[in-house]
Amino acid sequence: MTQVLKAKLGSLLTTVYPDLECDGLADQLLKTMGLEPDQPPPQAHQNNWDEADVVLITYADSVKQADQKPLATLHQFLRDCLEDSVSTVHILPFFPFSSDDGFSVMDYLAVNESHGTWEHVEAIAADFKLMADLVINHMSARSRWFENFRKRVDPGKDYFFEGNPRDDLSAVVRPRTSPLLNPVQTEDGERHVWCTFSEDQVDLNFANPQVLIEFAGIIRQYLEHGVIVFRLDAVAFLWKEPGTSCIHLQQTHELIKILRLLIEHHSPSAVVITETNVPNRENLTYFGNANEAHVIYNFSLPPLLINTLVTGNCRHLKTWLMSMPPAQIGTTYLNFIASHDGIGMRPTDGLLSEEEKQRLINTMDSFGGKVSYRRTADGRDQPYEINIALYDALKGTAESGVDHWQFQRFICAHTVMLALEGIPAFYIHSLLATENDLERVENTGRLRSINRSQWQLDKLEQTLADPLAHHSKAFHELKRLIAIRRKQPAFHPNATQFTLHLGLQLFGFWRQSMRRDQSIFCIHNISNEIQQVALSDINLIGTDEWVDLISGMTIDDQSGSITLKPYQSVWLSNRE
């Protein structure tokens, strides 16, 4: 057989490293991954997901219990409470770390002893698809690699990106306000290392191909421990060239193609997800030509959906949805409305006006939220994200403040997310309707801690068993909606989607199964007032019988109308 894989790999490597002899580099990467040069390719345009796929996002220690490793406690909670609801578990970085709640990794190949062991990780991977972070842009300043960088020895000597304070770095796109270059003392004297995120998170130097080889080895280890979904953290910043924006550079895209090529030849059912918290048009480029990310985060959804629900106006959400291209078969979106980070504001660029952004910020501030900033090229500090728990983000409206519709608004947000094209992902604290943790913010000094609470398992079990607790009500209603969603072919992540035009207080879209045998009209009252929907406006097929999958209501008169209470949703389907 011809060496097809090696030829593809060599071509990509030559684009990234035009001055290197890439034939030998390709051999090294294939050997590191345990691949043959003629390894057969996976099936092209294959969907490694379906309508039953639902993701849970959690820290290893989001649920804790005395005298038990958190990963074991998490596994117990997953089996007892979520085995019938989620297919994939994204455990946020569970490695030894020095800061940023795990995203400043000290050792990529070890499990944080306080969380558990690789055996605990593998046990979860045996019951669920396991998603893990490949924290690929930067590493802890307290890691062995960085200690070796200081000592000028390998491995590590040339693994970190260095900058020159005299270079023009004014065009560099920053997600933070901290200094970009930090001086460090080494055996060779003072050097300035590049720190996109913080002084403790030093950017890796992929211009050194040995770093790429190291990550191929890391990826293989993860695969062998049961990881099947790879989240490429902060990957947009991977390649740096002074004088440029240092974001989305072509070499970054080529490196993602290389990583995908290696991963999917090793494990054809594996999935690569890029985490790129950037404006929508930029985000879409990470699909490539169905040869980069299998899945991209729908980063514009959280701020737009929250803005819709607190203003009672879906104009911007509808405009955005109409502009979203259907994902090619073999690619899809990851839909989420809350995560361990805040509500990103950059993904609203070009979608909300500056006045609308400020109104959203002011509203979230009045609900107990905080704002994190980034520094622009001209030295101004711009809002980067809003830090707030989703349950509290929806406690009222921009116009009237806190009201009594918080629970309904919260469920409506998730009902929208569950029905959209793509795979739905629930952050654990949204699934549990956890509120702002202001005490944790005070204890850590970090704004993101507002949405990084930790539950004691016995307390959580008591709360979920209490029918009067809003946590219990939300958890069980969301599980009910998930169970409905998982049975509908029209909710396949790649099923057809069209936006409906029902005014500004009704947000609607139509989904049709890939076999065209099921249609679902998803209609959501995103206002705090009763709304009427004329069924003639949505063109139900007259020969079919229609039922609302959520309430069980049947449509007897297709010339009539339905009434939606504030924040009520319907999923009108022609099959149950």
Q: Tell me the C-alpha distance between 49 and 16, whole Å.
A: 31
Parallel, antiparallel or unpaired: strands 343-344 and 332-335 = unpaired
Structure tokens that stand for 181 in this block: 């270059």
Angle at 225 between CA 221 and CA 226, to 5 degrees: 120
Distance CA 137, CA 105 (A): 11
The rounded average pLDDT for each run of 10 residues, N- to C-terminus, in the chain (576 residues) is 88 97 97 95 95 98 97 98 98 97 97 98 98 98 98 97 95 93 97 97 98 98 98 98 96 98 97 96 96 97 98 98 96 97 94 97 97 87 94 98 98 98 98 97 94 97 98 98 98 98 97 96 98 91 90 91 97 88
Residues recognised as catalytic: 233
Task: State the Cα–Cα distance between residues 6 and 438, nearest whole angstrom.
Answer: 53
| Tokens read off for 56 | 């849970």
DSSP letter string, 170-188: TT---SSSS-SEEEEEETT
Give residue for tokens 């009045």. 366
pLDDT for res 576: 64
**What is the reported pLDDT for 552?**
96
In degrees, to the nearest 5, what angle opens at C-alpha 128 toward C-alphas 127 and 129? 140
Buried b (16+ CB within 10 A) or exposed e, 144-179: ebbebbbeeeeebbbbbbbbeeeeebeebbbbbebe
Q: How far apart are CA 291 and CA 159, in angstroms?
A: 27
Q: Within its chain, how far is the Cα of 85 from the centroid?
A: 19
Separation between Cα atoms, residue 396 and residue 406, nearest integer Å: 6
Please, which residues bridge with residue 374 across strands?
382
For the purposes of burial, counting CB atoms within 10 Å of the CB of 21, is it exposed (0-12), middle (13-18) or buried (19 or more)?
exposed
Question: How far is Cα 335 from Cα 110, in angstroms, rounded to an integer?
Answer: 30
DSSP string over 233-299: TTGGG-S--TTS--SS-HHHHHHHHHHHHHHHHH-TT-EEEE---S-HHHHHGGGTTTTS-SEEE-T
Report the pLDDT value the prediction gives residue 508, as an integer from 0 to 100.
98
Question: Residue 179: its pLDDT value, please?
Answer: 95
Give this prediction's pTM: 0.97
- How does DSSP classify residue 371? E
Bridge partners of 402, per DSSP, are 396
CA distance linking residue 404 with residue 478, whole number of Å: 19
> Tokens standing for 532?
């009427």
Determine contact, residues 555/535, Cβ cutoff 8 Å. Answer: yes
Quick one: which H or E segment has residue 141? none
